[in-house]
Structure 1
Amino acid sequence: ESNLLLSLPEGYGRVNMTFPAMPAVSVCVRVQWDPQWYQVSTMYSYAAAVFTNEFQLRGQLDGTGRILLALIVHGQHRPYKAFFPNDGAWHHLCVTWRKTDGHWAIYVDGVRGDMGSGSDTPRDIHGDGILILGQDQDSFGGNFTEPFVGNITDLNVWDTALEQRQFRTLNGCSSLTQDAIFTWSIDNMTRHPVVEYDEYENIMVLHL
């Protein structure tokens, strides 16, 4: 197992896989937000060649010591509502979306923090995109902005809309019988610009 050290604002991790077109998608990740970081941050961003803001999870600090979360799908920015405390602890964040009715939801530590439906463009998430951890892509695979500062691990992606009971299972560190199209592995990531290994951890550290 390995520890991944990245330096921002240039640092990021890129998932090395070819994504299919997805009529539904679910993404889970564990994050440890740096309590000293006060800027809008991008946990991950998925961009396609024809549309850069396809799918993205963002966070920002509010005035009461909470990290508010917002989901972007097809360029449509959902409200900052779901949250976790800015306590320096690890938190499990999951999002899901499906084309059929535009349903989307954000789960924090196994509990649904926000949801909605019906206000989406009825099309698939474009395939052959680029999934970047820790940066917003203002162009396809580049022009990075709004970096995340902290630790990231356990990123998993499914091409289906998971349900609340499944997110509770994942929050408890159990695996799902339904196979993910991407499962967390440092070997399946391109790291930039610096990588250091630690035999005890399997996390990605992003910091200034």
Structure 2
Amino acid sequence: MQAARNTLCWRLILLSCLLVESSFQDFGGQTQFICTSVPKDMDVCAATLQNSVPGEDLKTTVMQLRETVLQQKETIMNQKETIRELTSKLARCESQSEPVDARHGGRRKEAGSKNTMGDVSRGPADTLTQLSQTLQSLKQRLENLEQFSRSNNSVQANSLKDLLQSKIDDLEKQVLSRVNSIEEGKPGLRNETEQRGRVESTLTSLHQRITDLEKGQIENRPLDKFQITFPLRTNYMYAKVKRSLPEMYALTVCMWLKSNASPGVGTPFSYAVPGQANELVLIEWGNNPMEILINDKVAKLPFLINDGKWHHICVTWTTRDGVWEAFQDGVKRGSGDNLAPYHPIKPQGLLILGQEQDVLGGGFDATQAFVGDLANFHIWDRKLSVGEIYNLATCSSKAKVGNVFAWMETSLDIYGGASKWTFEACRQLN
């Protein structure tokens, strides 16, 4: 009887050793066994309990021990995962050398570090995805042109389509090669600036060829019946107004916008002059409300437009007391004063659609780019009346065009893959 009992105890002891050993091996540790001599005729169970946990069931103790070890293992593994995440974030932070913009609470790039290929801080994979989406958009336009050429039996259109398809394939290879170089850290990155320039030049050339081809479909379209689409949040898609603004002591800016971008729709337009990059800016960036900036002074606007629907917005301003008013869809939504009072809008600047300028004509930040559609952008050098703004928002025949800038295809140059499409505000509302 005593022998059987000793055999059972030895099995329980062996089981406990195996459980502890398994737990420590799962964790990656090392095990060490300590042997203790026991008199020949002594009760093994009694000796074991005397040297371990008197008065407690051996099996329960073993299971509790295993459970404790497993819990500690899980805790440490979670800590390791947290350390890996923090290390990854630290590496990303160290790779970014952008100073903080106190006004917007975000990142800014110096003029010399302008990235012509998009927001590289998001990583090579995101850059490839972003540019692939751009190429996909261009491919879709080519497919539309292909259908047009089939229906009209246009030999010229087919020839251009084949050429454009070849250009897209070459561009995809360049982008893939660039991203692979970034990921592998090849020495060829010393020529990265030249490579970026070549890719951007190819993209702009490709866009121009597609635009020329599309003109075959819209030759009879009125020059003001169009919209500009910015499909991606990049720092290379934008439109540039060919003429500067004059000196203004009052103004009204109106436009149609459609966007569902989040957070923030970005920067529909920015006007910079020498010495002041934020002479006149409309921006909704991050989780901030939309703002109008004049001479770097800020007024928050009560616009809610990121629902994927077309909205007509207008902002009026006069230099006397800096009085401003904001209208959405023909209705006054807010007003204020003391916005850059007695400061005239300066001339000899550059007006950009779709990007926020850090320096005159550049320093674009992808995180502040406009994403969506923009149309019927007009500027007046006076404050429009409530009735005039309502006529614009309701497509009245009495609506007037801007006397400082009027929305015309011939007044703009488009870069980086932003596209133009036919647009009629009244038809969009119906």
**Counterpart residue identity of residue 180, structure 1:** N
1 CA distance for matches of 2:413 and 2:350? Answer: 12
Q: Tell me which residue corresponds to 2:267.
A: 42
Listed one character per residue, the Cα deviations across residues 148-206 of structure 1 (whole Å, up to 9, x for unaligned) are 100001000101111222111110123545752211112210101236554x4379xxx
- What's the counterpart of residue 73 of structure 1? 294
Task: Work out which structure has the larger RCO, using CA pairs closer than 8 Å and 6 or more positions apart in sequence.
Answer: 1
1:12 aligns with 2:238: yes
In the TM superposition, what whole-angstrom CA distance separates every residue of 1:12-37 from its partner, at most 9, and x where no partner exists?
A: 1111113211111111010101x243
Structure having the larger proportion of residues in strand? 1
Tell me the equivalent position of 1:191: 414
Indicate whether 1:53 and 2:278 are aligned: yes
Moved more, 22-31 or 100-109: 100-109
Gaps of at least 5 residues in structure 2 are 1-220, 426-430
Tell me, in whole angstroms, the C-alpha distance in 1 between the residues paired with 2:307 and 2:319: 35
Q: What per-residue deviation string (whole Å, max 9, x for no partner) do you get for residues 116-139 of structure 1?
A: 113424121001111111111010
1:173 maps to which residue? 395
Q: Contact 1:157 / 1:181 at 8 angstroms: preserved in 2?
A: yes
User: What per-residue deviation string (whole Å, max 9, x for no partner) do you get for residues 25-80 of structure 1?
Assistant: 111010101x2432461111111112111111112576xxxx9422111111112x
| 1:15 aligned partner, one-letter code | V
> Unpaired segments of 5 or more residues in structure 1?
204-208
Tell me, yes or no, if the aligned pair for 2:253 and 2:378 is still in contact at 8 Å.
yes
1:24 pairs with 231, 250, 274, which one? 250
Q: 1:130 to 1:164 in 2, by over 3 A?
A: same
Tell whether the 8 Å contact from 1:4 to 1:202 is kept in structure 2 after alignment: no
In 1, the alpha carbon distance for the partners of 2:362 and 2:409 equals: 21
RMSD (CA atoms): 2.4
- 2:325 is aligned, of 94, 99, 105, to 105
Matches of residues 123-202 of structure 1 in structure 2 within 5 Å?
A: 123-145=343-365, 146-174=368-396, 175-177=398-400, 180-194=403-417, 196=419, 198=421, 200-201=422-423
Distance 1:4 1:109, change over 3 A: closer
How many residue pairs get aligned? The number is 196
Instruction: Rate the CA distance shift 1:119–1:184 in 2: closer, same or farther, 3 A.
Output: closer
When residues 30 and 178 of structure 1 are mapped into structure 2, their CA distance, relative to the original with a 3 A threshold, is closer
CA contact 2:273–2:360 (8 Å) conserved in 1: yes
TM-score (norm 1): 0.83
Q: How far apart, in 1, do the equivalents of 2:392 and 2:240 lie? A: 23
Amino acid at match of 1:69: M
Q: Greater helix share, 1 or 2? A: 2
The one-letter amino acid of 2:293's match is I
Bigger radius of gyration, 1 or 2?
A: 2
Please give the secondary structure, in 2, of the residue aligned with 1:139: coil
Q: 1:148 to 1:196 in 2, by over 3 A?
A: closer
**TM-score when scaled to structure 2?**
0.42
The AA in structure 2 aligned to 1:141 is G
Write the letter of the residue equivalent to 2:344: D
Cα contact 1:37–1:149 (8 A) shared by 2: no
3-state SS, counterpart of residue 269 of structure 2: strand
Corresponding letter in the other structure for 2:248 = M
